[in-house]
Amino acid sequence: MGCLISHLAAKFAFFPPSPPTYQIKKRDDGNPIAVYTSSSIPLTAGADDGCSLDVLSLDTKRGNKIVAFYLKNPYARLTLLYSHGNAADLGQLFDLFVQLKANLRVNLMGYDYSGYGASTGKPSESNTYADIEAVYECLETEYGVSQEDLILYGQSVGSGPTLHLAAKLPRLRGVVLHSGILSGLRVVCHVKCTLCFDIYKNVNKIRKVKCPTLVIHGTEDDVVNWLHGNGLWKMAKDPYEPLWIKGGGHCNLELYPDYIRHLCRFIYEMETTTTKTRLSKIKPTLGLPKKSKSKPETPSCCTSPCSCCCIKTGLPNCLKCPRPHCPKCANCFKANCCLLNWKCGCCWWRKPKCPKVKLPKCPKAKLPKCPACLRCRCFSCSCNCLNCSCW
């Protein structure tokens, strides 16, 4: 019963344009090109001369072939992966992609879900998850984009696959939720609990996203209520200053000047955020064990009081000094054992007498003199021989 309701919910969630607004054709050199269905004019015809468009066909793990557009900006540092809404395809969004690429100074990857545009298969929740995973894999392998340089952008239903992928990438640079949904059923019914047959349970996945999250929503959205955006923003682990566009609807937020202005500020801050700052934010969320502040344990070679060991535990004050070994302890090369340094002048502690040498005392310091020593080591000259073989 739950699967049937989920299937019905998916039917109401997806409205691919029919016929698609674009087609994929082959150039003379064999490379694919996207043209408008109505006029057979290439999509790039109306764009700037410098518009670089790669038309890609990607295989998903569910056996579908999806179409993706990659627009390269030579001045970009970050890449934006755009997941569109439920009633559009790449042909309708291409002009918007060109504007975002130029204004935000990013590389942009957009794709059509299974069953949309020139992509094969049928649209479903699980298919959209497989679709975005295939696109991310392409960005990694073909374009060398790491998650640290990637921002995920999800519009309306696109917030589902966006949060699905974002929850799996702990080092992601950022997420943008544009008119996002809490879940599929919550759009239709104002329920407060999550049911097993619900689709796009973003209300659960938003809590797993560790990167900065920007939420954009119109206050007069009559398709996805503003409360969805507000709820996502409140549940985000690292919420960025939201953008509530006064009077904005569901499909016209790009027309407001605040939209591009706020988005530019978000992208700029993501670009300038240092690795150190990002790691300091991510570390507490990884659940790493805290360093113990207790004193270090006594090493195994010094478990019992031993007259031969001068210092049982602790680290040397001088980092340049090599650790000497105790003549009576076999394992005394371990850390924290016998840490006095007899070979460095920066260590001021008194050096022990040689236990195997009994010679007349030095007339200056009244200390024993080792036969291997070629000069007197009086108290003022650090007390004893530094090169004695019995050490």
pLDDT for 65 equals 97
pLDDT for 259 equals 98
> Among 65-74, 95-104, 315-324, which stretch is predicted with the lowest mean pLDDT?
315-324
Q: Are strands 52-59 and 65-72 parallel, antiparallel or unpaired?
A: antiparallel
CB atoms < 10 A from the CB of 176, how many?
25
pLDDT for 112 equals 98
Q: E strands, 198-340, where?
A: 213-218, 243-245
Give the tokens for residue 213.
Answer: 């999250």
Q: Which tops the pLDDT comparison, 1 or 203?
A: 203
Give the tokens for residue 111.
Answer: 């794709």
Over 80: is that where the pLDDT of 267 sits? yes
pLDDT for 290 equals 63
- Choosing from 84, 164, 178, 250, the catalytic residue is 250
CB environment 142-151: b (16+ within 10 A), e (fewer): eeebebebbb
> Among 9-18, 45-54, 81-90, 120-129, which stretch is predicted with the lowest mean pLDDT?
45-54
* Sign of CA pseudo-dihedral 9, 10, 13, 15: negative
Q: Per-residue pLDDT tens for 166-195?
A: 999 999 999 999 999 999 888 887 777 677
For this structure, is 250 an active site residue? yes
Q: E strands, the chain, where?
A: 22-26, 32-36, 52-59, 65-72, 79-83, 107-111, 150-155, 174-178, 213-218, 243-245
State how far the Cα of 245 lies from the Cα of 230, in Å rounded to an integer: 12
Most confident of 181-195, 247-261, 272-286, 351-365: 247-261
- Choosing from 83, 156, 159, 179, the catalytic residue is 156
For this structure, is 156 an active site residue? yes
CB environment 245-272: b (16+ within 10 A), e (fewer): beebebbebeebeebbebbeebbeebbe
pLDDT band (50, 70, 90) for residue 12? low
**Whole-number average pLDDT of the chain:** 80
pLDDT for 282 equals 61
pLDDT band (50, 70, 90) for residue 343? very low
Q: What is the mean pLDDT of residues 300-328?
A: 47
State how far the Cα of 111 lies from the Cα of 132, in Å rounded to an integer: 8
Chain centroid to Cα 277, Å, comes to: 12
Q: Which tops the pLDDT comparison, 341 or 32?
A: 32
- Choosing from 164, 221, 228, 262, the catalytic residue is 221
pLDDT band (50, 70, 90) for residue 13? confident
Over 70: is that where the pLDDT of 253 sits? yes
pLDDT for 240 equals 97
Over 50: is that where the pLDDT of 9 sits? yes
DSSP 344: -
pLDDT band (50, 70, 90) for residue 346? very low
State how far the Cα of 251 lies from the Cα of 173, in Å rounded to an integer: 26
pLDDT for 257 equals 96
Q: Which tops the pLDDT comparison, 5 or 379?
A: 5
